[in-house]
């Protein structure tokens, strides 16, 4: 199936939203529908289009996996409450931490997060809800990357642990599949989402698990979560494409109170990019980098060293793992 | 024993050299003497003062430990040949690599290098030479740090594996012990050493073994040696106090020829400092950092990521291990 792209220049946001809401209404009809909201721009836009089409007939879940940024669940719930949409928060922290235990390989780590999300948590919610209609925030770039083999080719039902016979009764609706990121941002703005959502920088699927080199633990998540909050606060004014804090596993020597102290290192990455395919490190002002480093050293316990990435993509990637 | 410091402002270099050469001549007399030359400014100055005093009566060894910078042995031998001094190169690469095998702890790594140098290699050379007089490049800062407990209090004879009874016949001469680094640089210039020696940036005792996080292997030494040469070449014009390349053990994701490639990361540190007690990262020009990063990515096999340190000392230290 070939999907017809709608370029952002020819996108009439209001018309697009009406059409997609109409489609969802016809497809889902009076049946209950579900979707998972991560707080990113894609799933936020889908949630609002879905509620415009189905009202309370759409059940929206925010899965608290323990890998999110500081105060994320509260922020997302508050934004949607302001827009008249109820979001149900599902606490699945233990399931994700258990699944990540002992895993150090980056690929296995990503796989553990994906599997826990689909098979275990969201799959269970779908089955328990009795819904036969799923709304997903897939965009055209996701489809391209699946075709190119960069992302895994996946059968969504299989991922949800729903067997093909059962799957016969299910419908997957992907209202954003003709759009790129810039189109989705335009739609999200037209839907009334705040700039903090529709202008939000990209964040990886495995969330903070992708920002920890080595095994993911509850303690390390707390450290990288704090470093991420500081980094996002201080680098937001750069207007860069993406910025992040990465907790390394290597220990380096530091000195505290006149004594040697083997401590941790945080790496900062801040990217200038048009489409994430190529990227170069932002030439952040030295005053900003120094302030960022000092705040991390002061507020993230055990960190004695901070670095700034100076390698472009390629050969680097945007994320470290 | 309290040592009387000679501040650089009141140091008469020519007079100091004559006095120290005279002292060495009286103390060593007609007996053979030995010293180890590392190529750093302290041991280079001692070598020249010693040869002025004793001529060929002083045997100077350069111990090739395999942890040195690119072409180091050849450079040192050539500089001293130009000054009329013969330096004997001792190939001890295998002994140092064997001693470092399997060691990942930074302290144990430093200890292995020190022990191999003193007990095994230099100790053997001293005994075989029959010399009873050793010249050492100790400076006042080394003494201070030993007293303060930052460096280990050491009995040099014990380190050499020479027992106290035997040691009775030995003499240690330390002609630079009243000077700080700035004084030694002045003396080294007056002795006719080239600027590449007397202005040389500090380099750690365990050499490139201190620039590898995790186990030291011959392959990693080759990589960090190449990165060090590139870093020293490109950052020399900054005039910074010290600059270095560190090979991390953590693997990070990169992309080569369109495929994922878990690769290595090099961290660059470049310090502004007066006396190494406090230091801040140099605000290197972005063009320079970008050129440095690209050259390392192109010329050091397997490296996909380069970072630049942005944390001050304290709480960081100058070296990473």
Residue B14 CA from chain centroid, whole number: 25
Q: Name the percent of chain A lying above pLDDT 90.
A: 76
Partners of B267 on chain A (C-beta within 8 Å) are: 307
Quick check: bond before B55 cis, omega within 30? no
State the pLDDT confidence band at B172, using cuts at 50, 70 and 90: confident
Residue of A nearest to B302 (CA): A315
**Most confident residue range from A27-31, A77-81, A202-206:** A77-81
Question: Tell me, what's the pLDDT at B1?
Answer: 53
Q: Determine whether the interchain pair B255/A314 forms a contact, defined as Cβ–Cβ distance below 8 Å.
A: yes
Question: Tell me, what's the pLDDT at A282?
Answer: 98
ipTM: 0.90
Phi, psi of B272 (to 5 degrees): -100, 125
A272 pLDDT higher than 80: yes
Mutate to test the interface with A, among B305, B312, B321 (most CBs of A within 10 A): B305
Contact yes or no for B246/B221 (Cβ under 8 A):
no
* Virtual torsion, Cα A69, A70, A73, A75, nearest 10 deg: -110
Q: Determine whether the interchain pair B317/A253 forms a contact, defined as Cβ–Cβ distance below 8 Å.
A: yes
Partners of B306 on chain A (C-beta within 8 Å) are: 309-311
Across all residues in chain A, what is the average pLDDT? Answer: 91
Read off the pLDDT of residues B101-147 as tens digits, 9 standing for 90 and up.
999 998 899 889 989 998 899 989 998 998 989 999 988 887 776 66
A155 pLDDT higher than 60: no
Which pTM does this prediction carry?
A: 0.90
State the pLDDT confidence band at A141, using cuts at 50, 70 and 90: confident
Across all residues in chain B, what is the average pLDDT? Answer: 91
Q: Determine whether the interchain pair A290/B308 forms a contact, defined as Cβ–Cβ distance below 8 Å.
A: no
B158 pLDDT higher than 80: no
Strands B171-173 and A33-36: unpaired
Q: Determine whether the interchain pair B106/A292 forms a contact, defined as Cβ–Cβ distance below 8 Å.
A: no
B153 pLDDT higher than 50: no
Residue of B nearest to A301 (CA): B315
Partners of B249 on chain A (C-beta within 8 Å) are: 249-250
Q: Determine whether the interchain pair A314/B256 forms a contact, defined as Cβ–Cβ distance below 8 Å.
A: yes
Partners of A253 on chain B (C-beta within 8 Å) are: 106, 317, 319-321
Task: Kindly report the nearest CA distance between residue B244 and chain A, in angstroms.
Answer: 14
A254, A308, A312 member nearest B308 (Cβ) = A308
**Most confident residue range from A158-162, B164-168, B243-247, B252-256:** B243-247
Phi, psi of A145 (to 5 degrees): -70, -30
β-partners of residue B256 are B259
State the pLDDT confidence band at A170, using cuts at 50, 70 and 90: confident
Tokens 């660059």 correspond to what residue?
Answer: B268
Distance between CA atoms of residues A76 and A71, nearest Å = 9
Tokens 């936020």 correspond to what residue?
Answer: A44
Distance between CA atoms of residues A304 and A135, nearest Å = 45
Q: Determine whether the interchain pair B311/A297 forms a contact, defined as Cβ–Cβ distance below 8 Å.
A: yes
State the pLDDT confidence band at A1, using cuts at 50, 70 and 90: low
Partners of A250 on chain B (C-beta within 8 Å) are: 213-214, 248-250
Interface list for B 240-259 with A (CB within 8 A): 248-256
Report the 10 Å Cβ neighbour count for A251: 22
Among B197, B226, B182, smallest CA distance to B45 is for B197
Among B207, B280, B205, smallest CA distance to B241 is for B280
**Sign for the pseudo-dihedral over CA of B320, B186, B136, B66:** positive
Question: Tell me, what's the pLDDT at A151?
Answer: 56
β-partners of residue A164 are none
Tokens 């280079």 correspond to what residue?
Answer: B44
Partners of B312 on chain A (C-beta within 8 Å) are: 293-294
Residue A181 CA from chain centroid, whole number: 13
Residue of A nearest to B314 (CA): A255
Query: Does A111 contact chain B (CB < 8 Å)?
Result: no
Token digits for B274? 């007066």
């Amino acid at each position: 199936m070939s999907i017809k792209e709608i370029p952002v220049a020819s996108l009439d946001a209001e018309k697009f939203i009406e059409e997609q809401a109409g489609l969802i209404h016809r497809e889902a009809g009076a049946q209950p529908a579900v979707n998972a909201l991560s707080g990113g721009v894609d799933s936020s836009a889908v949630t609002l289009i879905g509620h415009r089409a189905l009202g309370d007939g759409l059940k929206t879940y925010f899965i608290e996996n323990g890998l999110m940024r500081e105060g994320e669940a509260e922020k997302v719930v508050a934004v949607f409450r302001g827009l008249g949409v109820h979001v149900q928060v599902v606490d699945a922290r233990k399931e994700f931490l258990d699944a990540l235990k002992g895993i150090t390989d980056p690929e296995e780590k990503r796989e553990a997060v994906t599997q826990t999300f689909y098979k275990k948590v969201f799959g269970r919610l779908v089955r328990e809800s009795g819904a036969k209609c799923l709304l997903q925030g897939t965009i055209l770039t996701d489809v391209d990357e699946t075709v190119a083999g960069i992302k895994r080719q996946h059968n969504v039902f299989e991922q949800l642990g729903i067997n093909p016979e059962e799957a016969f009764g299910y419908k997957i609706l992907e209202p954003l599949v003709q759009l790129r990121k810039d189109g989705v941002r335009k739609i999200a703005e037209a839907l009334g989402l705040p700039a903090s959502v529709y202008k939000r920088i990209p964040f990886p699927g495995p969330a903070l698990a992708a920002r920890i080199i080595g095994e993911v633990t509850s303690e390390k998540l707390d450290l990288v979560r704090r470093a991420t909050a500081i980094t996002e606060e201080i680098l937001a004014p750069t207007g860069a494409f993406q910025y992040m804090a990465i907790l390394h596993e290597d220990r380096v020597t530091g000195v505290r109170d006149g004594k040697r102290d083997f401590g941790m290192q945080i790496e900062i990455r801040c990217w200038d990019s048009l489409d994430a395919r190529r990227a170069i490190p932002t030439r952040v002002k030295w005053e900003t980098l120094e302030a960022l480093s000092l705040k991390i050293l002061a507020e993230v316990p055990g960190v004695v060293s901070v670095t700034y990435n100076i390698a472009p993509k390629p050969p680097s990637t945007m994320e470290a793992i």
